[in-house]
A and B are shown apart, each in its own frame.
Chain A
Amino acid sequence: MLLIRCPYCEEERPELEFRNAGEAHIARSANMAGESDDDFEKFFFIRSNPKGIIYERWRHIHGCARFFNAVRDTVTDKFVMTYKAGEPKPAKLPGASK
């Protein structure tokens, strides 16, 4: 069971308290109704499936209930870092493998 640091609780808690909520940094258009088919496809259906670093949304569902973002390495399964929802993709990753 992984340990995940909730950026709101500022604590590492067991994975059981969290739920994955899909890929992060996929912004919903401010003009949703006007999106082209291609753009909507990218927004709703297409997800990256990298070997290595992935940016994900998680929710501390059995804790503070906040959604936040996480950087995880899909090879080692390790969480590289977590940060609050709405914050930009971190430019530099601490101790990332590869």
Chain B
Amino acid sequence: MSGAFRIPSAGRLSQAKTARFSFDGQSYTGIEGDTLASALLANGVHLVGRSFKYHRPRGFLSAGAEEPNALVEVKRDDARKAPNIRATVQELYDGLVAQSQNRWPSLAFDVGAVNDIASPLFSAGFYYKTFMWPKAAWKSLYEPKIRAAAGLGVSPDKPDPDHYSSRYAHCDVLVLGGGAAGIAAALAAAETGARVILADEQADFGGSLRFETGAKIDGQDGYAWAQGAIAKLKAMDNVRVLSRTTAFGYYAQNFVGLVERVSDHLQSPGHDLPRERLWQVRAKRVVLATGSIERHMVFADNDRPGIMLASAARIFLNHYGVAVGKNVGVYTANDSAYAAAIDLKKAGVNIAAIVDLRDHPTGPVIDEARALGIEVNFGRAVIRAGGKLRVTSMTVQPKNGGGERTIPVDAILMSAGWTPSVHLFSQSRGKVAFNDETKRFVPGIYAQDCVSVGACNGTDGLAASIDEAYAAGAKAAKDAGAKTAKGTKPKVDASESWSRGMLGAAPGAGPDKTVKAFVDFQNDVTAKDIRQAVHEGMRSIEHVKRFTTNGMATDQGKTSNMHGLAIAAETLGKPIPEVGLTTFRAPYTPVTFGAIVSHSRGPLFDPTRKTAIHPWAEAQGAVFEDVGQWKRAWYFPRGSEDMHAAVDRECVAVRTNAGLFDASTLGKIEVVGPDAAKFMELLYTNPWEKLEPGRCRYGIMLREDGFIYDDGVVGRLAPDRFHVTTTTGGAPRVMNHMEDYLQTEFPHLNVWLTSITEQWAVIAVQGPKSRDIIAPLVEGIDMSDQALPHMSVREGKICGVPTRLFRMSFTGERGFEVNVPADYGQAVWEALWAEGQKHGAAAYGTEAMHVLRAEKGYIIVGQDTDGTVTPNDAGLDWAVGKKKADFVGIRGLTRPDLVAKGRKQLVGLKTKDPKVVLEEGAQIVADPKQAIPMKMIGHVTSSYWSQNCGRSIALGLVAGGRDRMGETLYVPMPNGVIEVEVAGMVFFDETGGRLNG
């Protein structure tokens, strides 16, 4: 037997298929097809959680996605502990382990429940009022304490071992919601041959047909009709049917995010299935058939376990075969709760009484309830519920006051009416309109190509909903370009009666200030809190919402928004539309990070770029650093060397013998065409027209504002061909910058730009013996200093493959950069390495490269410059063509602030104690004794230990730096002030003689 409250004659589940599960360590048996909620209820368990703020005992309010109370942790193993799972959504599987949250030491005895007694402290706005001062205590004291005390679930502390997948999909018609209306719309659209996607958040399609026993369509029971229609749709090639799939976000131009729960309901999902799948759907037309959500009655202690929505009790009975009690009371302001009472009564459950707030309701359900012998009371209110861990009674009073009567019950079903689910419509930026007659917000002005049908559109009655949906489905398909439908509209033979309900607080909800009549169960907001917010001056619903947190929990106020709004409007004495409805935002229900991230985690988080020479460096034991997406060899430790020792050795080797460096990551752009030189003139500060083919020049690129944007050595291969290099990180934006000017400002220039970064591997061979290493491998290039001086380039062959051989240096030594097609990169490197071994060469990494260039005062754009540095600031005025009529940045350079005295200039910094290495980014002051905050006159941009200089070296930007040569400045650090002397930027070989060999 799968629980004492299971009624074998009711429901659609097969009693034979049992599933064992545990909740808070206690073992239970359910049935396959149960949700955790229906399985617990079948075992008589109503108490499943403690509330957020007051730690009040809570049970199930609903049977679906709107559930605010029954949030539990579902645990498969230590890494798979999912918190805040709605027990009404989680499907049961054999072996499921769940536990309650937000209670200590146990669910029945929770110490935190003292908050309920101390609740005046926690009234509306308490976060704002109580913890305003002192400000510093917020971060250190209040927030952590509040989070610990008022948190819900605990997040898992291990990496998520599951995988998630992601798909894009396109369709003509996307139908969201698989109830009667959604199915009808999907049928109509599908029959035209249009590509249709139908999605529903439930495991089973049918929506309210899952509990509406009074519905008959095409001669069948409503639920059976739905299953038949779904089977038909699934069999069609042009239709994709997605169950367990929630449309959580509606974005621009009919772009809708869906999340499909693929394996959370399976006992052993296996590794080939993702846990969830994100669908990003672009639909030509969207049909919203999202239904409506029942509202609860707002009365004192309406949150006791056992008190739930009438429709939930019907689903539990009619779908899962579970009675939610043995002696059930009903409190309603509309007809639909009668149907629940009737269904339960017929299943053998005692209905203690129906309490109807309305004075003289009439209709078939009322007659039927009476005929079944159910006590029906009109014009009365439930003013209080008894019991604590489970409801034990309801106290009834005439709604205008009078004698009280307490009726023993073990469950109360309530219904205040139905709220159209306009969430997705609102997310689509549609504007809702208030229907004063039915007191509902329904879709008003549409912003996108979508249409609402059925209950979410405020359409009442099954036949009207199906008519509307079928027509809308056919029209959507037609508007998307499909042919006219040739199917037949489903015919409704019988349906249930519908009536309006009420909004706001019922008579049992105050104004007594001690009464807790809940509006928002998940955030513990009562009717009193909302009245108080208005009394304290909140006028708009947006303010009331933030002040009380009504509707701000993860359930997004699906059951509470309309009540809260009505209470605020009543207190303000204004009509509801004047107080306004809050905007609904994505996600409709919580979405896991896993689904959104999908495969983009770990190594797939971001592309990794590796050079052709990477495998060699890896085999040599290089330590790599990330430079943008590139992996670059940082240093090559030998034996037990640490980084410091390795870098020192590499730096000395380059200046003593030679070094090999993988410079392949340098950005490279080929600028080709008859106007190539004219284009270069405009994009770089330097003159290019007169640069002879075969020669190179260091170029500076500015933005229009005159600040350095990028730099690099440019070789002119031919009158119409430049080989431009850029910084490693700057390559894409330099290419973009060039394309922008070429396409839009200088389109008259006949030039082609090609990114060649990945086509050429670049091997820098630097040092006194560099030529000796290269020369034996080169064919067709005269390597003599006369024929190939510093800053020249030749094309020829090396190791039998084509090369663009640059004589250039970023170390201050005689140097070459050997460009070879990337496919030959490693082979040429290995050949050069073998030659290098004969001359004592070392491989060096990016750290040694940085030290060597700093010894020579060569800047690195982005390290020694920060987007506010001009060529003059960086000591590079010589590279700006003074006779040029135009280049990008020419006007920016003459802006008043850029030519003003006292700008920060790049200078060398020498610590008085040569052993002290400054910290990059450290601030520089002129007087260390001044009061804090000190006047900072600059900062350190580059700083290293230089083994070649036998001392520390640094570069820094200092106000008026070049006029301070020899001056002593100070760098205040936590452990004391460091004295530095302002010096020139070149620390090694000041005359530059080594460059020319």
Whether B736 and A33, one on each chain, are in contact in the complex, defined by CB atoms closer than 8 angstroms, is no
Residues in chain B near residue A21, CB distance under 8 A: 740
Q: Which chain B residue has the least Cβ–Cβ distance from A43?
A: B704
Interface of chain A residues 35 through 93 with chain B (CB within 8 A)? 35, 37, 40, 43-44, 57, 59, 61, 65-67, 76-78, 85-86
Whether B895 and A67, one on each chain, are in contact in the complex, defined by CB atoms closer than 8 angstroms, is no
A81 shortest CB reach to chain B, Å: 15
Query: How long is the Cα–Cα vector from A28 to B891 in the complex, in angstroms?
Result: 11
Determine whether B981 belongs to the interface, using a CB cutoff of 8 Å to chain A.
Answer: no
Among A3, A40, A57, A61, point to the contact of B891 (Cβ < 8 A). A40
Residues in chain B near residue A96, CB distance under 8 A: none
Whether A57 and B252, one on each chain, are in contact in the complex, defined by CB atoms closer than 8 angstroms, is no
Among A2, A35, A65, point to the contact of B739 (Cβ < 8 A). A65
Whether A33 and B891, one on each chain, are in contact in the complex, defined by CB atoms closer than 8 angstroms, is yes
Take A37-B895, A59-B736, A61-B736 as given contacts and tell me if A86 and B704 are in contact as well, using a CB distance cutoff of 8 Å: no
* Interface 9-residue window, one of B531-539, B743-751, B759-767, B916-924: B743-751
A37 shortest CB reach to chain B, Å: 7
Write the B250-274 contact mask toward A (1 if CB under 8 angstroms, else 0): 0111010000000000000000000
Q: Which chain A residue has the least Cβ–Cβ distance from B280?
A: A1
Determine whether B368 belongs to the interface, using a CB cutoff of 8 Å to chain A.
Answer: no
Query: How long is the Cα–Cα vector from A33 to B886 in the complex, in angstroms?
Result: 6
Among B447, B739, B744, point to the contact of A86 (Cβ < 8 A). B744
Determine whether B931 belongs to the interface, using a CB cutoff of 8 Å to chain A.
Answer: no
Take A33-B886, A40-B891 as given contacts and tell me if A67 and B255 are in contact as well, using a CB distance cutoff of 8 Å: no
Determine whether B885 belongs to the interface, using a CB cutoff of 8 Å to chain A.
Answer: yes
Determine whether B779 belongs to the interface, using a CB cutoff of 8 Å to chain A.
Answer: no
Determine whether B351 belongs to the interface, using a CB cutoff of 8 Å to chain A.
Answer: no
Whether B252 and A1, one on each chain, are in contact in the complex, defined by CB atoms closer than 8 angstroms, is yes
Write the A1-24 contact mask toward B (1 if CB under 8 angstroms, else 0): 111000000000010000001000
Whether B251 and A44, one on each chain, are in contact in the complex, defined by CB atoms closer than 8 angstroms, is no
Query: How long is the Cα–Cα vector from A86 to B747 in the complex, in angstroms?
Result: 9
Query: How long is the Cα–Cα vector from A66 to B736 in the complex, in angstroms?
Result: 10
Whether B886 and A1, one on each chain, are in contact in the complex, defined by CB atoms closer than 8 angstroms, is no
Residues in chain B near residue A85, CB distance under 8 A: 743-744, 747
A2 shortest CB reach to chain B, Å: 5
Whether B747 and A77, one on each chain, are in contact in the complex, defined by CB atoms closer than 8 angstroms, is no
Whether A35 and B744, one on each chain, are in contact in the complex, defined by CB atoms closer than 8 angstroms, is no
Q: Which chain A residue has the least Cβ–Cβ distance from B168?
A: A14
Query: How long is the Cα–Cα vector from A29 to B888 in the complex, in angstroms?
Result: 11
Residues in chain A near residue B253, CB distance under 8 A: 1-3
Query: How long is the Cα–Cα vector from A66 to B705 in the complex, in angstroms?
Result: 24
Between B705, B736, B891, B894, the greatest number of chain A beta carbons within 10 A of the residue's beta carbon is seen for B891
Whether B447 and A76, one on each chain, are in contact in the complex, defined by CB atoms closer than 8 angstroms, is yes
Q: Which chain B residue has the least Cβ–Cβ distance from A85?
A: B744
Whether B744 and A1, one on each chain, are in contact in the complex, defined by CB atoms closer than 8 angstroms, is no
Residues in chain A near residue B379, CB distance under 8 A: none
Residues in chain A near residue B780, CB distance under 8 A: none
Determine whether B974 belongs to the interface, using a CB cutoff of 8 Å to chain A.
Answer: no
Query: How long is the Cα–Cα vector from A28 to B890 in the complex, in angstroms?
Result: 12
Residues in chain A near residue B892, CB distance under 8 A: 40, 44
Write the B280-293 contact mask toward A (1 if CB under 8 angstroms, else 0): 10100000000000
Residues in chain B near residue A3, CB distance under 8 A: 253, 282
Q: Which chain B residue has the least Cβ–Cβ distance from A12?
A: B253
Whether A37 and B255, one on each chain, are in contact in the complex, defined by CB atoms closer than 8 angstroms, is no
Q: Which chain A residue has the least Cβ–Cβ distance from B745?
A: A28
Residues in chain B near residue A33, CB distance under 8 A: 885-886, 890-891, 894
Among A1, A44, A59, point to the contact of B704 (Cβ < 8 A). A44
Whether B744 and A2, one on each chain, are in contact in the complex, defined by CB atoms closer than 8 angstroms, is no
Whether A32 and B252, one on each chain, are in contact in the complex, defined by CB atoms closer than 8 angstroms, is no
B residues bordering A, Cβ < 8 Å?
251-253, 255, 280, 282, 429, 447, 704-705, 736, 739-740, 743-745, 747, 885-886, 890-892, 894-896
Q: Which 10 A-B pairs have the closest CB atoms?
A: A67-B743, A1-B255, A28-B745, A32-B891, A2-B252, A33-B890, A3-B253, A85-B744, A35-B891, A32-B886
| 11 additional contacts (CB under 8 A) given A32-B890, A65-B739, A85-B744 | A1-B253, A1-B280, A14-B282, A32-B886, A33-B886, A40-B891, A57-B744, A59-B739, A76-B447, A78-B252, A86-B747
18 sample A-B contacts, Cβ–Cβ < 8 Å, listed by A number: A1-B251, A1-B255, A3-B282, A29-B891, A32-B886, A33-B885, A33-B894, A40-B891, A57-B744, A59-B736, A65-B739, A67-B739, A67-B740, A67-B743, A67-B744, A76-B429, A77-B252, A86-B744
